[in-house]
Amino acid sequence: DTEVTQTPKHLVMGMTNKKSLKCEQHMGHRAMYWYKQKAKKPPELMFVYSYEKLSINESVPSRFSPECPNSSLLNLHLHALQPEDSALYLCASSQGPGESYEQYFGPGTRLTVT
Amino acid sequence: KNQVEQSPQSLIILEGKNCTLQCNYTVSPFSNLRWYKQDTGRGPVSLTIMTFSENTKSNGRYTATLDADTKQSSLHITASQLSDSASYICVVRENSGGYQKVTFGTGTKLQVIP
């Protein structure tokens, strides 16, 4: 299984809602990532988990809260988002956080904040 | 600041024709460079990885080159197919120990028409 899965595929939420994005991989990877991608822009790194511990937080607003319950799962909890947070949210995983490890990306969750 | 610039920004070619995409980077110290293909609304998929000592690497109809001296890379697509229509993203990883930060290029949007 060389797949990273993400749910839901699409999400529409109001600014007062609380929702969560889910990401799962069963490749035994020990590093997992959240990226945000706006239209026609490259992905921007948000968070890196290495061995289930948060190792990188790229100054992301607190309305985004990551969680890594176990080595296969990565969640992104959303609360009080703004319309400008609408984007494609990509999850990725790699065997480790080191330089030679390829990141495998999921298909993304298309988020719309109304 | 590390930068990765790609050209052209967009490209339209006829099915069956060849094309070459360019990537210039300032990332230092350099670790590796990957070319990804990203279909609209989907996660990126790795095509090739180039390390410092590699000049050319092929993956089917995709051939990547790297000139580490001039900090340039190219992705050549031969005998293009309609399914090649996608964004192609150059991603450069720096070699700084621990988690090596990656810098994404802005991408080239390729459209193959019949």
Most B CBs within 10 Å, among A35, A99, A100, A102, to test the B interface: A99
Closest Cβ–Cβ partner in B42, B100, B105 for A107: B42
| A35-49 tens-digit pLDDT | 999 988 889 999 999
CB atoms within 10 A of CB A103: 26
- What's the rounded mean pLDDT across residues B44-56? 90
Given a cut of 80, whether residue A82 has pLDDT beyond it is: yes
The nearest CA of chain A is from the CA of B109 a distance in Å of 9
Identity at A75, one-letter amino acid code: N
Given a cut of 70, whether residue B106 has pLDDT beyond it is: yes
Given a cut of 90, whether residue A100 has pLDDT beyond it is: no
Using DSSP, state whether A22 is helix, strand or coil.
strand
pLDDT range class, residue B2, cuts 50, 70, 90? confident
* A56 part of contact set with chain B, CB < 8 Å: yes
CB contact under 8 A, B34 and A102: yes
CA distance B84 to A89: 23
CB contact under 8 A, A4 and B43: yes
pLDDT for residue B1: 74
* A102 part of contact set with chain B, CB < 8 Å: yes
- What's the rounded mean pLDDT across residues B61-81? 96
Given a cut of 60, whether residue A99 has pLDDT beyond it is: no
Per-residue three-class SS string for B10-62: EEEEECCCCEEEEEEECCCCEEEEEEEEECCCCCCEEEEEEECCCCEEEECCE
Cβ contacts of residue B67 below 8 Å, gap of 6+? B55, B73
| A7-64 tens-digit pLDDT | 999 999 999 999 999 999 999 999 999 999 998 888 999 999 999 999 888 889 999 9
pLDDT for residue A1: 59
The nearest CA of chain B is from the CA of A105 a distance in Å of 5
Given a cut of 80, whether residue B97 has pLDDT beyond it is: no
| B9-41 tens-digit pLDDT | 999 999 999 999 999 999 888 888 999 999 988
pLDDT for residue A2: 64
Identity at A42, one-letter amino acid code: P
**Which residue in A has a C-alpha nearest to residue B9's C-alpha?**
A40
